[in-house]
Chain A
Amino acid sequence: ELKVEQNPLFLSMQEEKNYTIYCNYSTTSDRLYWYRQDPGKSLESLFVLLSNGAVKQEGRLMASLDTKARLSTLHITAAVHDLSATYFCAVDRGYLRSGANNLFFGTGTRLTVIP
């Protein structure tokens, strides 16, 4: 059974500080996604990581993937209040078999950025 673990579960950080969210998964995967969810809202896609060593950046967020360690990280640089949200990683095993995007989600990291 595929397990996806995120840590920390809760993260309270001051503005302008840096921090990293970790996502470990238990079996091989085709793709890894990062999503953002604001309270009471749907999920917004942030990054799709496809191969070992992949790194993607958008604004103050940077995601990386190490398939050998089965680890992805989401690094936050110089946090601002607008980044407060819950961040999920999700692992996709279905692509090679059927092309289907069957995602297995981590439990999420609730980030609060304090002014």
Chain B
Amino acid sequence: NAGVTQTPKFQVLKTGQSMTLQCAQDMNHEYMSWYRQDPGMGLRLIHYSVGAGITDQGEVPNGYNVSRSTTEDFPLRLLSAAPSQTSVYFCASSYLGLKDNEQFFGPGTRLTVL
């Protein structure tokens, strides 16, 4: 199993550009999510999904869109990048409904918006 994979690892954008961060998992997890991590801070939830076709907002959803057309993939779209979106983005996945539930994190995408 590859686990949770993310591409690209690094990206530099100019203000106003759009792009999609890719996330995939091969563990057949129902739950997937996107977090951002800013320097000196913990992770904050952007969007999450509990299954194909179902998405919802987290703590900091503004400026980001998601979709979940398959169980495996959960892309994050930046519609018009802003310097405030400079951050490290982590995708995570887990099973649903298990009480003792471990969430698996991807390696991260480091995004800089100039």
Q: Which A residues are closer than 8 A to B by beta carbons?
A: 4, 31, 33, 41-43, 45, 48, 50, 88, 90, 95, 98-108
Contacts and interface: CB of A to CB of B under 8 A. Distances in A.
B96 A107 contact: no
Interface string B30-70: 01010100001111110010100000001100000000000
A101 B33 contact: yes
B42 A45 contact: no
Interface stretch (B19-27, B73-81, B99-107): B99-107
Interface of B: 31, 33, 35, 40-45, 48, 50, 58-59, 90, 92, 94, 96-108
Contacts, number: 66
A103 B99 CA distance: 14
A107 B40 contact: yes
B103 A103 contact: yes
Contacts of B102: 45, 48
Contact of A100 (B35, B43, B96): B96
B105 A43 contact: yes
* Top 3 A-B pairs, shortest CB-CB distance: A105-B42, A99-B96, A99-B97
A42 B90 contact: yes
A95 B104 CA distance: 16
Given A31-B99, A100-B31, 12 more contacts: A43-B43, A43-B90, A45-B104, A48-B100, A90-B42, A95-B101, A98-B50, A99-B50, A99-B97, A101-B33, A102-B58, A105-B43
Contacts of A4: 42
Contact of A50 (B35, B45, B100): B100
Contacts of B92: 101
Contacts of A88: 42-43
